[in-house]
Amino acid sequence: MAEAKNLNDLLYETLKDIYFAEKQILTALPKMAEAAQSADLKQAFETHKGETETHVARLEEVFELIGKPAQQKTCNAILGIIEEGKEVIVEFDGTDALDAGLIAGAQAVEHYEISRYGTMVSWAKRLGMDEVAELLAQTLDEEETTDELLSEIAEAEVNAEAA
């Protein structure tokens, strides 16, 4: 018979998933910045790398707060999204559409993170983990801001150039 699991267990498993995802994103962002043709997009990726380093540190703080080891759990979703991004870099290298493709991939990552962090904030609140919820909400806000910035870059310059 399966062991009884609860929301605490689910939160921990999801934290391990997003911890893995954030570390994978740290590896992908410099490659995306290098591939980007738009100076604004390049800067956005470089800035987000620094933010992602903060997200990793914040997650490590959350693990401490819940009294669990900071472990990673393979996140196939993020691996797939990153792989698609690599394909865009190869297939659209040197074209006017490359940056639009990079933004689409980056926003897929952001939307995944927004989904995960939003869910974890809700769970942490339900579990009475106010400090955990606050830390996760800070990251959620930053992910949403990055998503908005990417949309602005796409609409201001990149999509027109790709068309």
Band of residue 2 on the pLDDT scale cut at 50, 70, 90? confident
Burial class (CB in 10 A: 0-12, 13-18, 19+), 146: buried
pLDDT tens across 27-81, in order? 999 999 999 999 999 999 999 999 999 999 999 999 999 999 999 999 999 999 9
Q: Are 72 and 81 in contact (CB under 8 A)?
A: no
- Residue 124 scores a pLDDT above 90: yes
Band of residue 117 on the pLDDT scale cut at 50, 70, 90? very high
- Residue 1 scores a pLDDT above 80: no
Q: What is the pTM of this model?
A: 0.94
Structure letter (DSSP) for residue 3: P
Structure letter (DSSP) for residue 156: I
- Residue 17 scores a pLDDT above 90: yes
Predicted confidence at residue 3, as pLDDT, reads: 83
* Structural tokens at position 16: 């391990």
Taken in order of first residue, the domains within the chain and their CATH numbers are 7-162 (1.20.1260.10)
For the chain, the average pLDDT equals: 96
Cα within 13 Å of Cα(160), Cβ side:
6
Q: Are 161 and 102 in contact (CB under 8 A)?
A: no
Report the alpha-carbon distance of residue 136 to residue 75 in Å, rounded: 18
Predicted confidence at residue 141, as pLDDT, reads: 98
